Structures are given as structure tokens and as C-alpha cells.
Structure 1
Amino acid sequence: MKVRTAVLAALLLARMPPHRIRSVMRLAAGGSRQAEYETADAHYRAVAAAGPRCAGWRGCLPRSIAVALLCRAEGRWPDWNVGVRRTPPFAAHAWLEAEGRVVAEPGTPTAYGVLIHVGAADVS
């Protein structure tokens, strides 16, 4: 139930303009502690399995939002990022990082160019 609620909220948020999504994510991240990789990874897999809208490259924005919200429900927050992949195929992408690692996706943090970032340490 918690996963489906997070996915529904994420699908609604993903339709908003980028500046509004960023504002909501900053508000959600407030007062949280950094998420652990294993927790973020488990939530990622649960969200990806929840339905086709959050699977694959096209589902990256709602998937990343849903995973971040699930982490936040436990008082934690991963680094939530929106930007571009720097390696082919080049494309817009949203992803999460925890403990300095990209959560459940190929590559290292340097494989992505960040345009929007919301981390636990960024808000108070």
C-alpha cells in the first residue's frame, strides 16, 4: 500500500513544472537524514516492480520521486537528481544517489550531469 501511494504521488508530481517539483522535493527532504544505499535500493526495486510507468528510462522521473518519498517516510532522504546522462545514449534523466553511489542504475555519479539536486544536507 505504501509503495502504491508513493507511486501515485510521484506520477502526479512528475506532471508539474520542474521548479515546482524541486520545491516540493526540497520541502519533503527537510529535517531528514541521509538515506542508506541498501534502503534506497530496496525501495527502488519495489517501485520499479509496481508498474510499467515507473520502469525503464521513461519512468525515471516518477520512479526517482517515489523512491525518495518512500525513504522520507522512514525519516531518510537520498540525493535526488535531475539532469542528463553524459554517456551514450545522451538523454534527460532523473536518478538517486546514496552513500556516494548511484542507486540501482549503471555508472558512477560522474556519468550524469546534474541540473537539479535535492539532498538531505541541502535543506534544514
Structure 2
Amino acid sequence: MSDNPTTATDAHTVSSTKARLAVCAAKIIAHLPVTVIVRLLKMFRPLQKSSSIQQALAVDAKVREVSPLCRGERGCLARSISTYLLLSLMRRKVVWASGFRVKPFLAHAWVTVEGEPINEHHDVQGFVTVASTNPEAR
């Protein structure tokens, strides 16, 4: 038996209420300067356990389910912060990042688990990361 009692099904039990609260918090946080966003999100880092990609996908799906903003192309900041908050509150490791690409120009925010971008339509490897909660990032 695994020493990790939390399974992917735990992510499915994220209530719509918790997801809505995370989206509300994310909408407020999104108006802060990016340096403050990173500091705030990093406060959730202690005592986190590994997250599975399935958990992160399920949480991301719940966030998109409860918020029309987070479903849209322009909702990446609120969606990524909401997903980060929910996974962090579940004490799961997740990395939030924000960056841009030049051609064509696009600013974007996303989350990764185990180095894998979660539910991304953009190739984030082509983005210049300007802010991240990754402890290895500057």
C-alpha cells in the first residue's frame, strides 16, 4: 500500500463551493503585482506532498466547471491561481508560473505538476517564465 493515502479520487471530491471560493480569491489575487502573487502563493508550500497529474487535472476541471471566466482563453491567470490554491489547500505540490512568448506575443499563466503543464493548449516550453513559485526558479 502506498504511503500516500490521498488518491486521484480526492481531487474529484473538491466541492463546487470550495472551487468557487478559490476562484473568488484568485480574482482578487490576480489584481496584485506579480511579485506579491508569487510571495502569497509560496506561503502554501510547506508540508506539501506529491500531487499526481490526475489530481491536478481533476481540480482544474472543477475550476473550469464553476467559472465561465476560467473556461475562457483570457481566464488563464484566475484559472491557474485557483488551481494552485485548491491543490495547495489539499497539501499537494504544484508550481504556478507566468510568462510570455514573443511571436506571436502572448502573456500566459499556468500550473505544472511533476514538471508537466496541466491542461494547457499552449506549448509553455516556448514561453519566457517571468514569475514562478518553483523553488528552483530565481
TM-score range, shorter chain: 0.7 to 0.9
Cα pair 2:20 2:67 within 8 Å, conserved: no
Find 1:94's aligned residue among 91, 109, 114: 109
Kept after mapping to 1: 8 A contact 2:77/2:109: yes
CA contact (8 A) 1:83 1:112 kept: yes
Show the counterpart of 2:41: 25
1:111 aligns with 2:126: yes
Please, which runs of 5 or more residues in structure 1 have no aligned partner?
A: none
Q: Give the secondary structure class of the aligned counterpart of 1:80.
A: strand
How many angstroms apart in 1 are the aligned matches of 2:80 and 2:67? 14
Output the TM-score relative to the length of structure 1: 0.85
User: Deviations for 1:15-62, whole angstroms, at most 9, x for unmatched residues?
Assistant: 111111111011122332342211111111111121222122211111
RMSD: 1.8
- Quickly say closer, same or farther: Cα 1:59–1:107, change in 2 above 3 A: closer
Q: 2:57 aligns with which of 30, 34, 41?
A: 41
Amino acid at match of 2:40: V
How far has the Cα of 1:73 moved from its partner?
1.5
1:49-88 aligned within 5 A: 49-85=65-101
Bigger strand fraction: 1
- Please give the per-residue CA displacement for 1:100-124, whole angstroms capped at 9, x wherever unaligned: 21100135542322111113x55xx
Q: Distance in 2 between matches of 1:111 and 1:43?
A: 25
The structure with higher relative contact order (CA 8 Å, sep 6+) is 1
Kindly name which structure, 1 or 2, has the bigger radius of gyration based on alpha carbons: 2
Q: Do residues 16 (structure 1) and 39 (structure 2) align?
A: no
Count the aligned residue pairs: 120
Aligned 8 A contact 1:36 1:78 in 2: no
**Which shifted more, 59-68 or 27-36?**
27-36
Counterpart AA for 1:118:
T
